[in-house]
Amino acid sequence: MSAHSSDLFGTLHDGTPVHRWVLERDGVVVRVLTYGGIVQSVETPDRDGRVGGVGVGFGSLAGYLDCPGPYFGALVGRYANRIAGGAFELDGRGYAPTRNGGPHSLHGGERGFDKRVWDAEAVAQGVRLSRVSPDGEEGFPGRVEVSATYTLEEGGALRIAYRAVTDAPTVVNLTNHTYWSLGGGGPYELRLAAGAVTPVDGTGIPTGEIRPVDGSRFDFREARVLGGGYDHNFVLDKGVTGGPEAVGELYDPGSGRVVTLATTEPGVQLYTPDGFDGVALETQHFPDTPNRPEFPPVVLRPGEVFESATVYGFGVRGV
């Protein structure tokens, strides 16, 4: 059984309507907003069959407008994560994306993809959001046509597939910023097939080193309890792949819920925020790659197609 529908979720201050799409399949319910491509909620059963939310979000549009900083559930771009100093060079020309994260550009700038209203159309098992990011938006070059397609696969897994094309050389790095809160109070256990991390300076910018996780608090190759204090990019063993490959899972012993993660991307930003219960697993290319030619490339040129996909699966353990 699968279904999808939409309703009016609210309006922006300028009167622009925001719609909410509801996807249902195999006991999983996902709600997606046209504002920011936000995954407003994900509902799944726990080990006792009780259905509850596993993503952090708000019940009204006002919540997102009044609290934009944490990127709750948002579609992040044009460049997810940080670009050092709000500056990079491409083909010998300098660009200055908006500095909105201290001295750096963060998650696409002051009004990135997370704060735009997207067009929506129904597709099989889900909804496709699309928009045109004009040349110069937030300081990024090129007119980019971008889409994000949210579908529920068999078993209720949420697949987010991204696609972008450009009319001029640019950089693209897209992700989803859902915070997973699995309802059992934690502590969570994390497994991540990542043998290295990219260490950062005091402002969250990679030093350029690819550091093995052996013997460190970053070693989640075997499942173990996840503490706080993480805002780091993990280098996935598999690298960039043509289709989503399994890379890890988050488990809550209290509720029995498990979120599995598969992606085409080479990295995952693990973020454990202070102040609320939630874990972000942002599949991505690496932070500051426009200034780090040794990292997997993020340049998109005319005639090329950017494509990536991430699948979040939902299950229970200990039944």
Is 177 annotated as ligand-binding? yes
List CB contacts of 300: < 8 A, sequence separation 6 or more: 142, 144, 164, 165, 166, 169, 170, 171, 172, 306
Is 291 known to sit in a ligand binding site? no
Q: Is 224 annotated to bind ligand?
A: no
10 CB contacts (<8 Å, ≥6 apart)? 17, 18, 60, 61, 62
User: Active-site residue among 24, 137, 265, 282?
Assistant: 282
263 marked as binding residue: no
Residue 37 CB coordination number (10 Å): 31
Given 177, 189, 232, 249, which residue is catalytic?
A: 177
Tell me whether residue 82 is annotated as binding.
yes
Asked if 282 is an active-site residue, the reply is yes
Query: According to the annotation, is 176 in a ligand binding site?
Result: no
For the annotated binding site, the residues are: 81-82, 177-179, 231
Residues assigned a catalytic role: 177, 282
> Which residues are part of a known binding site for beta-D-galactose?
81-82, 177-179, 231
